[in-house]
Amino acid sequence: MGTQPRKTRGLFERPPGSGIWWINYYVKGKQHREKVGRRSDAIALYQKRKADARLGVKLPELQPRKTTTFGELALAAVDYAKAHLRTWADYDWKERALREEFGSRSAAEITPQEIDRFLTGRCKTPATANRFRAFFSLCYRLGMENGRVSANPARLVRMRRENNARLRFLSRDEYKELSNIILRHFPEQHSAFVVSVYTGMRWGEQFSLTWTQVDMRRKIIRLTQTKNGSARNVPLNSTALDALRAQQAIVPHKLTDQVFPEAGDYCRFWFEPSIKDAGITGYTWHCNRHTFCSWLAMAGVSLKEIQTLAGHKTITMAARYAHLSPDAAASASERMVMHPSV
């Protein structure tokens, strides 16, 4: 069991175990309570209030302020992402996914335990849970910077351990089955699926894409802002090119228009039912990226090339696919013959 913090005069935690601390003090016989946030900040403010009272410094007016909802913080975070991040669409769908459960709630009343329960109950993978936790944290961090909230409960939510060793990717037969199901039931979304698998773009990169970034003649997509902060060009193979041409035929394609405007809630309304119909388990949209890298490795593409094509910051990420290379095991074993002194 973890050690409980030593009780300090004038401090109390509410709700208990939430990590949100308040101070309680008296000035001229009148009780005052203030919500602070972190325990260390509460101790500092309590000491300041007591010192000010001894010096006769007038207390700030503690007038009730308009309640700030979590929905307001989330929309502000999306606006921030739109202004600063090319992958803003990733933040946009998270805001929509959280809207029903948290949108109308007072931001100051949401506890770390509630956030943790949401991540446990609604996120299928540790990676997804950690991305949602990061979004919660961004909402509160910006809210604190703007004086709308005084604490960030997401800071007290544990990070999930991500198992990067297990890489779920589609076999060619699974891809064919899933592709046919999407084409049959959600034909307007088929191009998005194909482009994802055959380019390896991250969800936020793909669904914030505009036609001005697509160069059909040079067969590339220009990504100026990515997760790792580096711009890169995504080569377009013949399958990806055909899918983009099909997309052009069904959506408006002025240069400033989004290439995939109907993504919709992280593709859940069409992608998850299609996976279920195909009988595929343990697979999420992000696994399309694993499929891209795995197929490259199985085709004999070098780790350095996989790193470049996928936009990995280090070759360590690409090395996860090394065991899929058709020559990897054979070449390693052959070293025993080449070096008999070993």
Q: What is the CATH number of the domain that holds 139?
A: 1.10.150.130
Residues 70-118: tens digit of each pLDDT: 999 999 999 998 888 767 777 888 998 899 899 999 999 999 999 999 9
Q: Is residue 197 domain-shared with residue 109, that is, in the same domain?
A: no
Distance CA 87, CA 90 (A): 6
Residues 284-337: tens digit of each pLDDT: 888 999 999 999 988 888 889 988 888 888 888 778 777 776 555 455 445 445
Contact 303, 285 (CB under 8 A): no
Q: Is residue 227 domain-shared with residue 293, that is, in the same domain?
A: yes
Distance CA 287, CA 308 (A): 18
CB atoms within 10 A of CB 89: 23
Q: Residue 300's pLDDT is what?
A: 85
Geometric angle at alpha carbon 106, from 101 and 111, rounded to 5°: 75
Q: Is residue 126 domain-shared with residue 27, that is, in the same domain?
A: no
Q: Residue 213's pLDDT is what?
A: 92
* In the chain, % of residues over pLDDT 90: 40
Domain total for the chain? 3
CB atoms within 10 A of CB 120: 10
Q: Is residue 185 domain-shared with residue 316, that is, in the same domain?
A: yes
Q: What is the CATH number of the domain that holds 262?
A: 1.10.443.10
Q: Is residue 51 domain-shared with residue 139, that is, in the same domain?
A: no
CB atoms within 10 A of CB 44: 13
Q: Is residue 239 domain-shared with residue 139, that is, in the same domain?
A: no
Residue 61, domain member (yes or no) = no
Q: Is residue 147 domain-shared with residue 185, that is, in the same domain?
A: no
Q: Is residue 119 domain-shared with residue 219, that is, in the same domain?
A: no
Q: Is residue 90 domain-shared with residue 208, that is, in the same domain?
A: no
Q: At what angle do helices 112-122 and 126-145 cross, to 10 degrees?
A: 150
Domain span holding position 319: 172-324
Residue 342, domain member (yes or no) = no
Q: Is residue 188 domain-shared with residue 263, that is, in the same domain?
A: yes
Domain's final residue, options 156, 185, 207: 156
Distance CA 87, CA 201 (A): 11
Residues 136-156: tens digit of each pLDDT: 999 999 999 988 998 999 999
